[in-house]
């Protein structure tokens, strides 16, 4: 077998290979969450954009034979590209003034009740065309790539009319086609109640179910259907109706659950067969147990807790209960204006007491599971897509320590170098 690319002299290679066959078919839980598949003195061989061998250097050289290109990692760390399974990437405008109001003591919900929050971003996003959103989105995806993210979920939700939601999802599809990153789209028509329906929540829920969902499915624009279940957003009953309708139409449910209050979102997510329940800052033990039993992934967003100054989700408790957990940025203009998965990892370690190994698995393999992409990405095993990162460090734990800065030196997507810290993003 001949490889196109051989990466050698890897000080620490994190393969995330499972300890038994088929072990990566489901997200990691409990003690297995810390299993990064660490190989010291490793190598990685790639052919046609796919991993053909990953492990100790002598074994990989033997298996791979001659390679067209050899890259010397210089004794540094190689790990799978990060998967960010929860972002609101596509929005126009900025909410810097609201940030300052919060610092002076107003809460996020108080600001929203005064006409700020999501609805302000909706107003700014509605007046931007698809091309403008694609341009903004492409520049943002460059930033994600520079932080080591190679696959990203992108939600709609700043349109809230049939046409504006379709516009956002079409923009996400264009970005998937034109950018290095893989973009996985989620329909979040139930993100907020738009001003036209301020006194008619049920009417808006009907619009979501009867007009938006069929249009999204007709154009095959989304994989997942999400709802913001919260006081001031959508009730558990409305969320259930939307997620069940989405499910019947072929969209897998996700849920913004128990972020600012406990409305029973965790249990609802488990009951409707959601692939993930996200946020969970206020989730009850009962809800978390239901998630563990159903295998619902808890997508934790420590950037949001950090930025809102709220207590972090109880990650250690979730791990102890057997909930599979993943990490994401929640990148959005109001509650988490960061696109950095390394920052999410650092916050998860310091704020939620994850071990660096657990945070890395949560940000790669389990994150891939949370968006149905684990067959392709999230670990460096033969047959999987060769998406990987070279860190400027000789110990992988450094990625969790150097908060607010990037140790990502090179990023490879499908076996091609697409980013280098010296020369930036390679044009697609
Ligand atoms: O995930 N929770 C709902 N949506 C976002 C906030 C979006 C915004 O404030 O613009 C979130 O936190
Ligand atoms: Fe969110």
Alpha carbon distance 417, 413 (integer Å) = 6
pLDDT of 1 strictly over 70 = no
Contact present, 193 and 204 (Cβ < 8 Å): yes
**Tokens of residue 272, six digits:** 């409707």
Q: Is 424 left (phi over 0), alpha (psi -120 to 50) or beta?
A: left
- Average pLDDT on 190-197 reads 98
CA-nearest residue for atom 3, ligand 1, is: 228
Q: Please report the pLDDT score of residue 391 as a whole number.
A: 98
Which of 88, 109, 305 is the pocket-test mutation for ligand 1 (most atoms within 8 Å of CB)?
Answer: 88
- Average pLDDT on 302-317 reads 98
Shortest-distance ligand to the CA of residue 260: 1
Q: How confident is the model at residue 293 (pLDDT cuts 50, 70, 90)?
A: very high
Q: Which residues have CB atoms below 5 A from the ion given as ligand 2?
A: 330
Residue 420 CA, ligand 2 centroid: distance in Å: 29
Alpha carbon distance 417, 49 (integer Å) = 11
What would you report as the CA-atom Rg of the chain, rounded to the nearest whole angstrom? 21
Residue 334 burial by Cβ neighbours in a 10 Å radius (0-12, 13-18, 19+): buried
Q: Please report the pLDDT score of residue 187 as a whole number.
A: 99
pLDDT of 213 strictly over 80 = yes
- Average pLDDT on 371-389 reads 98
- 319-365 pLDDT, tens digit per residue, is 999 999 999 999 999 999 999 999 999 999 999 999 999 999 999 99
Q: Quick one: what percent of the chain has pLDDT higher than 70? A: 100
> Is 167 a pocket residue for ligand 1 (Cβ < 6 Å)?
no
Q: Mean pLDDT, the chain, as a whole number?
A: 97
Residue 334 CA, ligand 1 centroid: distance in Å: 6
pLDDT of 175 strictly over 70 = yes
- Average pLDDT on 124-142 reads 98
CA-nearest residue for atom 1, ligand 1, is: 330
Which of 234, 282, 335, 338 is the pocket-test mutation for ligand 1 (most atoms within 8 Å of CB)?
Answer: 335
Alpha carbon distance 54, 8 (integer Å) = 10
- 8-39 pLDDT, tens digit per residue, is 999 999 999 998 888 999 999 999 999 999 99
Helix axes 162-178, 130-146, angle to 10 degrees: 50
Alpha carbon distance 259, 336 (integer Å) = 13
Shortest-distance ligand to the CA of residue 228: 1
HSE-CB for 144 with a 13 A CA cutoff: 33
Residue 378 burial by Cβ neighbours in a 10 Å radius (0-12, 13-18, 19+): buried
Residue 24 CA, ligand 2 centroid: distance in Å: 26
This prediction's pTM: 0.98
Nearest 5°: the CA angle 200, 279, 363 is 135
């Amino acid at each position: 077998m001949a490889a196109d690319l051989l990466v050698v002299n890897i000080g620490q290679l994190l393969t995330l290979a499972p300890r038994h066959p088929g072990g990566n078919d489901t997200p990691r839980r409990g003690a297995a969450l810390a299993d990064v598949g660490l190989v010291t003195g490793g190598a990685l061989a790639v052919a046609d954009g796919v991993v053909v061998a990953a492990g100790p250097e002598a074994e990989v050289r033997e298996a791979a034979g001659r390679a067209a290109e050899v890259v010397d990692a210089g004794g540094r760390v190689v790990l799978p590209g990060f998967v960010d399974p929860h972002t609101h990437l596509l929005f126009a405008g900025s909410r810097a003034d609201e940030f300052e109001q919060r610092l002076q003591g107003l809460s996020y919900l108080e600001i929203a009740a005064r006409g700020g929050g999501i609805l302000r971003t909706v107003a700014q996003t509605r007046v931007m065309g698809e091309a403008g959103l694609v341009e903004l989105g492409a520049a943002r995806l460059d930033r994600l790539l520079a932080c080591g993210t190679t696959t990203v979920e992108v939600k709609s939700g700043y349109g809230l009319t049939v046409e504006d939601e379709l516009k956002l999802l079409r923009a996400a599809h264009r970005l998937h086609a034109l950018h290095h990153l893989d973009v996985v789209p989620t329909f979040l028509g139930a993100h907020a109640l738009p001003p036209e329906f301020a006194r008619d929540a049920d009417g808006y829920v009907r619009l979501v179910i009867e007009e938006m969902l069929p249009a999204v499915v007709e154009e095959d624009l989304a994989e997942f259907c999400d709802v913001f279940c919260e006081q001031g957003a959508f009730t558990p009953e409305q969320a259930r109706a939307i997620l069940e309708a989405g499910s019947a139409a072929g969209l897998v449910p996700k849920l913004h659950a128990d972020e600012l209050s406990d409305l029973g979102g965790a249990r609802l997510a488990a009951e409707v067969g959601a692939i993930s329940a996200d946020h969970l800052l206020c989730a009850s033990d009962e809800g978390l147990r239901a998630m563990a039993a159903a295998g619902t992934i808890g997508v934790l967003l420590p950037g949001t807790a950090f930025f809102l100054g709220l207590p972090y989700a109880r990650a250690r408790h979730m791990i102890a209960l057997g909930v599979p957990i993943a990490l994401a940025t929640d990148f959005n203009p109001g509650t988490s204006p960061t696109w950095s998965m390394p920052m999410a990892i650092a916050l998860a370690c310091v704020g939620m007491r994850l071990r660096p190994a657990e945070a890395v698995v949560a940000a790669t393999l389990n994150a891939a599971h949370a968006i149905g992409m684990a067959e392709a990405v999230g670990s460096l095993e033969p047959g999987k897509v060769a998406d990987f990162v070279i860190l400027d460090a000789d110990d992988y734990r450094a990625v969790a320590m150097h908060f607010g800065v990037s140790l990502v030196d090179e990023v490879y997507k499908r076996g091609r170098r697409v980013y280098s810290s010296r020369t930036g993003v390679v044009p697609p």
